[in-house]
Amino acid sequence: MNLQNAKIKILDLDLKGCVYLNHLSHSQRIALFFKTISRLGDGPFWYVMLLSVWALQGLAYGLQILYLIAAGSVGTLIYKYLKHKTTRPRPYQVHQVIVLGERPLDHFSFPSGHTLHAVMVTITLGYIQPILLILMLPFTVLVALSRMVLGLHYPSDVIVGATIGATVASSIILLAPSFNIVL
């Protein structure tokens, strides 16, 4: 199989996965559930987790919290750069069979910023307070699924977003000692 055929096969699988998951949103209850997950993934859930870490670690943990916020903004810069460089349209914009289940926060699809941040925050905060993984891991999986169920992302957008999120989280954890930050 040559490179062009491989690319076509991958794009075909990407679309099939998106259509399959988006079909779940035809149920009003499922659509509402994933819309709620997506909105909580916009920030509210993560703010509660960050405040939980601060409360569990103690108020003296403020410098570390500032480090996490500053370092975490790298994820935002990366995904915004990639979105504007790749300009991949969202699935619902290209394929009529895909139903839009939630208004997007921005115009382009690649990569999934929601998934990037969910994975990044889950790994980083889970490293600091493993007990929070009980809540964060299932929520992160639901955020990733919500992006496809709601017709906002292809599976490849979500996979790349998760990969970038994991890479940024690993960097945040590994670089903290260089800044005299003890996580």
CB-based contact 75:164 (threshold 8 Å): yes
Mean pLDDT of the region 22-48: 94
The sign of the CA dihedral 45, 46, 48, 53 is positive
**Confidence band for 127, pLDDT divided at 50, 70 and 90:** very high
Distances (CA, A) of 71 to 32, 48, 103, 105, 134: 33, 18, 28, 22, 24
Q: What is the number of structural domains in the chain?
A: 1
**What's the pLDDT at 112?**
96
In sequence order, which residues have a C-beta less than 8 Å from that of residue 87 and are 6 or more positions away?
108
171 three-class SS: helix
Q: 21 CB contacts (<8 Å, ≥6 apart)? A: 145, 148, 149, 155
The CATH number given to whatever domain includes residue 18 is 1.20.144
- Report pLDDT digits (tens) over 149-174: 999 999 999 999 999 999 999 999 99
What is the average per-residue pLDDT within 103-107?
A: 86
pLDDT of residue 170: 95
Identity of the residue numbered 148: M
- What is the pLDDT confidence band of residue 68, given thresholds at 50, 70 and 90? confident
pLDDT at 11 > cutoff 80: yes
Domain range holding 96? 3-179
Over the chain, what is the mean pLDDT? 92
pLDDT of 27: 93
Binned at pLDDT 50, 70 and 90, residue 1 comes out as low
